Amino acid sequence: MSDDSTPAGITARLRSHIHSRTAITDHGYSTMLLAIFLGLLVGAYCSWTVADFSVRWPAFGIVGLIGIIRCYTQPTRMAVVTTGLYQLSAAIAITPLVLAGGGLYGAYTQGVANPWPTVLSEAILLVVIVFGVIATLIAGVASFLDHRYGPVETK
């Protein structure tokens, strides 16, 4: 009973619970830390992008938690990595929308009559392309790892 109350005991019970609910392969500590790191990385990125909407910390918590769970529930360490990269890629891909959305949100909340000309422009298309390229590169790395070391199994 006393062993169960130690951090190691609590972690072991948590992992046992997750395994029983997801039926996935048991991960070592290093893989678990990797999943946490990747999840928090995506959470931090999303938190940074949506700060214009005053939801910085909720975004960090929610996206980070979902990211960790999505990564941790993969069957292999490589699948954890590729899932994290795919998540990061998706977050980067939608950055221009959030950037433009922040401008729209700001304009609407301050009573600008027609805020659309400030965001619906060729400029935002260029930003979409730039971030799309970055996102594609990251997804490409994930895809390469995926095909090189085996498909990602999702639950």
Partner 1 sequence: MTGDEAPPQLSRRELLRATTAAGVVGTGVAMGRLGDKNDHDTPAKLADRAEPREYEEFAVHRVPEAYETIQDAVEAASPRDLVLVGPGRYHEEVTVSETEKLTIRGTDRNEVVLDGEGTRHNGITATADGVVIENLTAMNYTYNGVYWTGVNGYRGSYLTAANNGEYGVYAFDSVNGLFEHSYAAGHPDSGFYIGQCNPCHARIEQVTAERNGLGYSGTNAGGDLVIRNSVWKRNMGGIVPNTLDSEKLAPQAATRIENNEVRSNNNQDAPAKAFAYAAYGTGIGIAGGHDNEVLNNNVSNHANYGIAAIPMVDSSIWQPAGNLIERNHVQESGRADLALGSPNDGGNRFKNNSVSSSRPSWLHSDGMLASVFGSTGDPWVTLSQGLLYLQTELGEFPHGDWLGGPDPPEQPSMDDPERPPREAVGPRGDQ
Binding site for partner 1 (CB under 8 A): 48-49, 51-52, 54, 56, 99-100, 102-103, 105-107, 109-115, 117-118, 121-124, 126-127, 130
Closer residue to partner 1 (CB): 116 or 144: 116
Distance separating the N- and C-terminal Cα atoms of the chain: 33
CB of 92 to partner 1, least distance (A): 11
Residue 17's contacts (CB-CB under 8 Å, 6 or more residues apart) are: none
Closer residue to partner 1 (CB): 75 or 115: 115
Closer residue to partner 1 (CB): 10 or 137: 137
CB of 7 to partner 1, least distance (A): 23
CB of 84 to partner 1, least distance (A): 19
CB of 60 to partner 1, least distance (A): 10
Report residue 48: phi and psi, to 5°. -65, -40
C-alpha span between 88 and 84 (Å, rounded): 6
Closer residue to partner 1 (CB): 24 or 94: 94
Which letter, b or e, does each residue of 42-75 get, where b requires 16 or more Cβ atoms within 10 Å of its Cβ? Answer: bbbbbbebbeeeeebeebbeebbeebbebbbbbb
C-alpha span between 77 and 21 (Å, rounded): 19
